[in-house]
Structure 1
Amino acid sequence: MKIVNLHVHAYSANHRTPIANGKYAYASTDIVIVSLHTDDGYEGYGWAHGTKVVVETLLSLKERVIGEDPFNVERIWEKMYLPKVYGRKGFETRAISAIDIALWDLKGKVAGRSIGQLLGGYRDTVPAYIAGGYYEKGKGYAGLKKEMEANLASGAKAIKMKIGGVGIAEDLDRIDVVRDTIGPNIKILVDANNAYNRLDALKIGRELDKRDIYWFEEPLSPDDIEGCAELCRKLDTPIAIGENEYTRWGFKQLMDAHAAQIYNADAQVLGGITEWKKVADLAMANHVMIAPHGDQEIHAQLVSAIPNGLIVEYYDNNTNALKEAMFPSSLSLDPEGNVTPSKSPGLGIPLDYDRLASFLTFEM
């Protein structure tokens, strides 16, 4: 079996209302899908979030993938990971991630097994939290309360909200509104998206300690490893980082520094499923948990495979403007707030290219 072709499709869809977190703003969802085709008729797909740089890197990697057996994921990964050519971190590594995910989708389809089963098959269902609580124009406390009520109606047992985009006092009021809305038994996770300096992170962190917060995510710059380690020592609320980290070597630095209790390793960012499993194993050896950032259609499979998988991020249509078009059927929360990854081969969820066609920005 050999890979004989690689196709790239890029899509973009505007959010109904632009959304913002503590540091970044988003007017659209931009996704690049890569599909790999074998000489005996199999097709595997993967995707990453990004635009032009991801597309260009995928096209330049094509010659390194064509002719390879898709089961040789380690060899293909080493052929693609060329720091002097593509850099060590960034959108180029997201392109490697998309190809590697497509390879695992192919492996699963050929083997007749889901990716979760191929990687370890540790559990059938995984806990999930709904990611939201973004800043939006005109949303206010009333809009935040309405959003949280909808999350409860969806079966959420854990929710994540953004902080860092307004003053500390106002964000604490927002957290209190959410707690009053969802009650004492639903987990609240807060995410600053790199918005704070060390002083402000510590200041709000001490207030979070009083509010039974499940975790404090990305309080500082992703490069301030020592600062995150200091927060771990000084706060009771667990620190979660890693969605902006790349490769096993990047995560080794974080873990050696004891920079977090929870790592948000994203297979769509850090180098794909092959690299994600190395990070998960490294985390297990260091007695820390993995709670991936990124699309649940991929990460529910991965967390179901490992003993140290904590929880999965769950996006609805409000945060992924392409989700409804991408998937003819998608994962949903059960009454316990869990998701059950498909047992169908590979990723187990087909893509709807027909519905995506109206959002197409590039194809080759």
Structure 2
Amino acid sequence: MRITDIREARVSIASDIANAYISFAKMDVSVLAIYTDARVDGRQVVGYGFNSNGRYAQSGLLRERFLPRLREADPQALLDDSGTNLDPFRVWDVLMANEKPGGHGERSVAVGIIDMAVWDIVAKVENKSLAQLLAERHGDGTTDAKVSVYAAGGYYYPGKQVSALKDEMRDYLDLGYTCTKMKIGGVPLAEDLERVEAAIEVVGDASRLAVDANGRFDLKTALAFAEGLAPYGVRWYEEAGDPLDYALQQQLGEHYGPPMATGENLFSHQDARNLLRYGGMRADRDILQMDPVLSYGLVEYLRMLEVLNQHGWSPRQCIPHGGHQFALNIAAGLKLGGNESYPRVFAPFGGFADSTPIEEGGVAMPAMPGIGFEDKRELMKVFDEHLRR
């Protein structure tokens, strides 16, 4: 088996939304297709990848550093022992050759894009869904039939009033979601609490609403928001401070008893280990949101799960950031606690297969090999437009 071609492009997902820290007015992503000479049921095996939202396209790193390594590698060095399929771990080693430890930065995103496409190929060659492949290779052999998902939204729009936020939350419920998430930290505390109350009024119970500050707060502000949020009992209070400020996270946990969540901006198993060592995270209630694509891919995410296991954490406490079909396969195959979803933003990269609607807050896996992108018509149009040979 050989890789015959690799194509990469930059695609805009710009919109006028904002969280407490950034605007998405110029947001874009990288899309990738890896073509092989393998054929299954008469069809050429092609693997697709892209990066999760919130980090910009990685064209420079891909074209100048990582894709040349993949193209120049001995083809045998990329294969498993059978010689008929790629080995994601060996591919990862090739990509990371001559890279110093630490300083993860944006390179973790570039590697994660390639890693996604590689796993898509591996599962297609095996003629299995990625979820089933992961269950057999790295899980207990069975997948979750459905994965719990929540609708991430509640961004700040120019001129958006509380009534519009309530309409958005109603829309998510109408789509089949039972839990939602909204942004905080972009306006003063009193105004955000008004928004929180309005969202709770719609979703019906505070335990169905999570809030996300996107790392905006210093310790004083994080504690003030914690005090304001505590009476409501929201599902979780997410990323109050800088993701690498473990001391802030630890001190916040001493003052805020309800669940907290963080991790989407930690890009290595070493950073995840430091969060568990020094961040005061509580295995009985808190949520870890490391993103498999942004953090060097699924190969590194499996290392993260091993770190969690060593520290006494269940994978059920992991709900990955990303909101796409790749993370959904991982959640189903490794039996995580759920998955994020973006029903109305970052289209067509967010969301799941066309054949699997959201039902009672959960989604099933499509019955097809690989990650299942071929069951996302609008996403395949993007791939075809930008990556067609």
**TM more than 0.5:** yes
Residue matched to 2:121: 106
Within the candidate set 286, 296, 309, 1:284 is matched to 309
* Match 1:78 to one of 90, 93, 96: 93
User: Do the aligned residues in 1 keep the contact of 2:27 with 2:56 (CA within 8 Å)?
Assistant: no
Q: Is the 8 A contact 2:87 2:122 kept in 1?
A: no
Q: Which residue matches 2:25?
A: 27
**Counterpart in the other structure of 2:41:** none
Q: Which whole-Å CA distance do the structure 2 matches of 1:161 and 1:290 have between them? A: 19
Q: Which region of structure 1 is more displaced relative to structure 2, 174-183 or 128-137?
A: 174-183
Q: Give, in whole Å, the separation in 1 of the partners of 2:323 and 2:174.
A: 21
CA distance in 1, matches of 2:352, 2:227: 41
Whole-Å Cα distance in 2 between the matches of residues 34 and 259 of structure 1? Answer: 38
Relative to structure 1, is the Cα distance of residues 134 and 277 closer, same or farther in structure 2, using a 3 angstrom cutoff? same
- Structure 1: give runs of 5+ residues left out of the alignment: none
| 2:164 is the counterpart of 1:136 | no
Confirm or deny that 1:61 pairs with 2:89: no
Count the aligned residue pairs. Answer: 356
Aligned with 2:243: secondary structure? coil
Q: Matched residues in 1 for 2:208 and 2:103: separation? A: 36
CA pair 242-132 structure 1, distance change in 2 beyond 3 A = same
Deviation readout 1:58-81 (Å, 9 max, x if unpaired): 123223223232522112212222
**1:295 pairs with one of 323, 332, 345:** 323
- Is the alpha carbon distance of 1:200 and 1:11 closer, same or farther for their aligned partners in structure 2, counting shifts above 3 Å? same
Q: Secondary structure at the match of 2:186?
A: coil
Partners of 2:383 and 2:309 in 1: how far apart? 41
Please list the CA deviations of residues 15-60 of structure 1 after superposition, one character each: whole Å capped at 9, or x if unmatched.
2xx11111111115412111112233421111114545x1122123
Bigger relative CO (Cα 8 Å, ≥ 6 apart): 1
Give the corresponding residue for 2:296: 271
- The alpha carbon displacement at 1:186 in A equals 5.8
Unaligned stretches of 5+ residues in structure 2: 39-43, 80-84, 136-141
The answer to whether structure 1 residue 355 and structure 2 residue 381 are counterparts is yes
Quote the offset at 1:322 in angstroms: 3.7
C-alpha offsets along residues 147-185 of structure 1, whole Å, 9 cap, x if unaligned?
Answer: 111111112111000000011111111101111122127
Worse-superposed segment, 96-105 or 297-306: 297-306
2:31–2:383 CA contact under 8 A, matched in 1: no
Q: Secondary structure at the match of 2:11?
A: strand
Partner of 1:223: 244
TM-score (norm 1): 0.90
CA distance in 2: counterparts of 1:27 and 1:342, whole angstroms: 33
Q: In structure 1, what is the equivalent of residue 9 of structure 2?
A: 9
1:320 aligns with 2:318: no
Please tell me whether residue 191 in structure 1 is matched to residue 212 in structure 2: yes
Contact 2:5 / 2:35 at 8 angstroms: preserved in 1? Answer: yes
Q: Which has the higher strand share?
A: 1
Does 2:337 match 1:310? yes
Deviations 1:228-271 (A, max 9, x none): 12212321121211111112111111112244322101011001
Code of the aligned partner of 1:10 = R
Quickly say closer, same or farther: Cα 1:313–1:327, change in 2 above 3 A.
closer
CA RMSD of aligned residues (A): 2.5
Match runs of 1:123-162 below 5 Å: 123-162=144-183
Aligned-residue identity in percent: 27
| Change in 2 beyond 3 A, CA 1:105/1:176 | same
Q: What is the one-letter code of the residue matched to 2:45?
A: Y
Closer, same or farther: CA 239–184 of 1 in aligned 2, 3 Å: closer
Which residue identity lines up with residue 118 of structure 1 in the other structure?
L
SS in 1 for 2:276: helix
Amino acid at match of 2:60: E
Which residue of the other structure, out of 327, 334, 338, is the alignment partner of 2:362?
338
In structure 1, C-alpha distance between the alignment counterparts of 2:369 and 2:219, rounded to whole Å: 45
Contact 2:207 2:234 in 1 (8 A): no
Deviation at residue 113 of structure 1 after TM alignment: 0.8
- Tell me the amino acid that sits aligned with residue 191 of structure 1: D
